[in-house]
Amino acid sequence: MIRTSVQAEAFDAAAELAALGGDGDAGALVSFTGLVRGEPGSTLELQHYPGMTERQLDAIAGEAAERFAVLRGRVIHRYGLLHPGDAIVFVAVASPHRGDAFDAARFLMDWLKTKAPFWKRETRPDGTAHWVEAQAADNEAAALWD
Amino acid sequence: MIRTSVQAEAFDAAAELAALGGDGDAGALVSFTGLVRGEPGSTLELQHYPGMTERQLDAIAGEAAERFAVLRGRVIHRYGLLHPGDAIVFVAVASPHRGDAFDAARFLMDWLKTKAPFWKRETRPDGTAHWVEAQAADNEAAALWD
Amino acid sequence: MKLNILYFAATRDTVGMDGETRDFPAGVATVADVLAALEREGEQYRAAFAEPSCLRFALDQVFVGIDAPVRDGAELGIFPPVTGG
Amino acid sequence: MKLNILYFAATRDTVGMDGETRDFPAGVATVADVLAALEREGEQYRAAFAEPSCLRFALDQVFVGIDAPVRDGAELGIFPPVTGG
């Protein structure tokens, strides 16, 4: 019901969004697109844990479908080399009413941030690189759904 | 900063979304699309208060930009005759972080629902028609932002 | 005192017109006074304004309460609670 | 007891490899035991596991705590807190 993908390729958020609308069952469609922030010339590399990533995305999607009224949904997470402005992650949910669509999309993102095995490595234009640190705020956001 | 439109014509949610992404300043892009619910053959007519509608949408957009970290945003509300599955309203917000993007989009929708002068009239396949009643839940949702 | 009154949605259907420009006698000072004056004009107004708590008002396109003062030349919108979005 | 160990992100960089299959002696019963055994093998492990509270673990691709029991043939992932999304 909420289809998930892990891929290196770019995705077409527009086409994904259009596919979820339906023909009268959904009153609300919420999408979240996560984008690479950074100055021109910087890059972001996303590493992930093949196999576990797919399992976790499906588990998170299943939990969302159980907690909220979700008619259709979509989760796409990219890995590999990305540039500022590139889309990293896409979450979209179609629901009868807007409360469930907003809640489910936000839940998916909050859980993805803390439960999907991805790691970001940022390289600045001058060539220095570092692994992005996990944010306490992300754990707090995820904990609100416990 | 949050551009608003009131129009009878359909809009291209994909193009609107793509226009908000930016090139590295935004980390989060949230969109909400409101769709016509109903069985095949039913229709929805949206009446509005020309002049006041534009003023209210701009006021609501201005309030959202003041309350949340919004880099770019878009609000489109349609009027006229619509069919099940048609998009009625589109709200999208680009922010540095996902909390602001989600909050701003939800705020825009909650205020639109209670402060923008639109009225929905539903016609069933058998020809019976009625004005849609305002929902107490919508007032409660809007009041949470007071 | 002249007002340009606009009706919307079910209120428009019950009153039977989109709007009207009307002269009101001295003493009509608030939105509530306007409603009362119109109710004296005919059954369609009495039906449309029967439950004022279910009506909303805008003066010059800004939401106001039923006790808001009206002034000559203003645009007064009368309509049910909004249902857009 | 044989384990297929996978390292990711900064942990991978510090250990210096993507992963390894290793035999552990009897008595290595938990994730914590595995870390201790590896730390005896070399400086790169001691550096990578210096702050175990900053590590996360997955057994057969399911998150577990540091006290989780390991079993022969399992896949053990060792990595920093995730930062996707």
Q: Which chains touch D (3 or more CB pairs under 8 A)?
A: A
Compute CA distances A134 → A144, B29, C31, D84, whole Å. Answer: 17, 21, 57, 9
Strand partners, B139: none
Query: What pLDDT is recorded for position B2?
Result: 97
Q: Within a 10 A sphere around the Cβ of D30, how many other Cβ atoms?
A: 15
d(CA B27, CA B16): 17
Q: Which chains touch B (3 or more CB pairs under 8 A)?
A: A, C
- The string of pLDDT tens digits covering residues B100-130 is 999 999 999 999 999 999 999 999 999 999 9
- State which H helix or E strand residue B119 sits in: strand B118-123
- The string of pLDDT tens digits covering residues A72-85 is 999 999 999 999 99
Query: What pLDDT is recorded for position D5?
Result: 98
If you average pLDDT over every residue of chain B, what do you get? 96
* Type of residue found at C8: F
At residue A2, the 3 state secondary structure works out as: strand
- State which H helix or E strand residue A19 sits in: helix A13-20
Q: Within a 10 A sphere around the Cβ of A52, how many other Cβ atoms?
A: 21
Strand partners, C6: C19, C77
Considering only CB atoms, A89 lies closest to which of D58, D77, D85, namely: D85
> For residue B36, what is the nearest residue in chain C, using CA coordinates?
C85
Residues of B in contact with C8 (CB under 8 A): 47-49, 117, 119
Q: Please, do chains D and C touch (3+ CB pairs < 8 Å)?
A: no
Residue B146, both tokens: 């007071």
Considering only CB atoms, D82 lies closest to which of A34, A109, A114, namely: A114
Q: Mean pLDDT throughout A97-121?
A: 97
CB contact under 8 A, B102 and A106: yes
Residues of A in contact with D8 (CB under 8 A): 47-49, 117, 119
**Residue D3 backbone phi and psi in degrees, to 5:** -130, 140
- The string of pLDDT tens digits covering residues B19-51 is 999 889 999 999 999 999 999 999 999 999 999
Among candidate residues B6, C30, C63, B114, the one with its CA nearest the CA of residue C78: C63
If you average pLDDT over every residue of chain A, what do you get? 96
CA distance B52 to chain C (A): 5
Query: What pLDDT is recorded for position B112?
Result: 97
d(CA B98, CA B28): 5
Q: Mean pLDDT throughout A61-68?
A: 98
d(CA A34, CA A77): 9
**Secondary structure in 3-state letters for B45-97:** EEEECCCHHHHHHHHHHHHHHHHCCCCEEEEEEECEEECCCCEEEEEEEEECC
Among candidate residues A109, A59, A47, the one with its CA nearest the CA of residue D77: A47
Which stretches of chain C score pLDDT less than 70?
none
Strands A28-35 and B80-82 turn out to be unpaired
Q: What percent of chain B has pLDDT over 90?
A: 95
Query: What pLDDT is recorded for position B114?
Result: 95
Q: What percent of chain B has pLDDT over 70?
A: 100
Query: What pLDDT is recorded for position A65?
Result: 98
d(CA A73, CA A21): 10
Query: What pLDDT is recorded for position D40?
Result: 97
D48 vs A22: which has the higher pLDDT: D48
Q: What is the ipTM of this complex?
A: 0.94
d(CA D75, CA D66): 14
If you average pLDDT over every residue of chain C, what do you get? 97
- The string of pLDDT tens digits covering residues B63-108 is 999 999 999 999 999 999 999 999 999 999 999 999 999 999 999 9
Considering only CB atoms, B31 lies closest to which of A30, A85, A96, namely: A30
CB contact under 8 A, A34 and B105: no
pLDDT in tens, chain D (85 residues): 999 999 999 999 999 999 999 999 999 999 999 999 999 999 999 999 999 999 999 999 999 999 999 999 999 999 999 999 9
Compute CA distances B21 → A50, A83, A85, B58, B93, whole Å. Answer: 28, 13, 7, 21, 9
> For residue C11, what is the nearest residue in chain B, using CA coordinates?
B131
**Residue C55 backbone phi and psi in degrees, to 5:** -110, 155
CA distance D44 to chain A (A): 18
Using CB atoms within 10 A of its CB, is residue B115 exposed (0-12), middle (13-18) or buried (19+)? middle
Considering only CB atoms, C83 lies closest to which of B49, B55, B120, namely: B120
Considering only CB atoms, B28 lies closest to which of A27, A29, A34, namely: A34
CB contact under 8 A, A21 and B87: yes
Q: How far apart are the first and last CA of chain B?
A: 22
Confidence band, pLDDT 50/70/90 cuts, at residue B8: very high
Among candidate residues B124, B123, B71, B67, the one with its CA nearest the CA of residue B93: B71
**Secondary structure in 3-state letters for C36-84:** HHHHCCCHHHHHHCCCHHHCEEEECCEEECCCCECCCCCEEEEECCCCC
d(CA D17, CA D71): 22
Compute CA distances A4 → A50, A53, A62, A91, whole Å. Answer: 14, 10, 10, 9
> For residue B130, what is the nearest residue in chain C, using CA coordinates?
C10
Its pTM stands at 0.95
Any long-range contacts for D56-63 (C-beta under 8 Å, 24+ apart)? Answer: D56/D80, D56/D81, D56/D82, D57/D31, D58/A49, D58/A52, D58/A117, D59/D31, D61/A49, D61/A51, D61/A52, D61/A55, D62/A52, D62/A55, D63/A115
CA distance B77 to chain A (A): 14
CB proximity C81 to B under 8 Å: yes
Positive or negative CA dihedral for A44, A47, A53, A56?
Answer: negative
d(CA C85, CA D28): 61
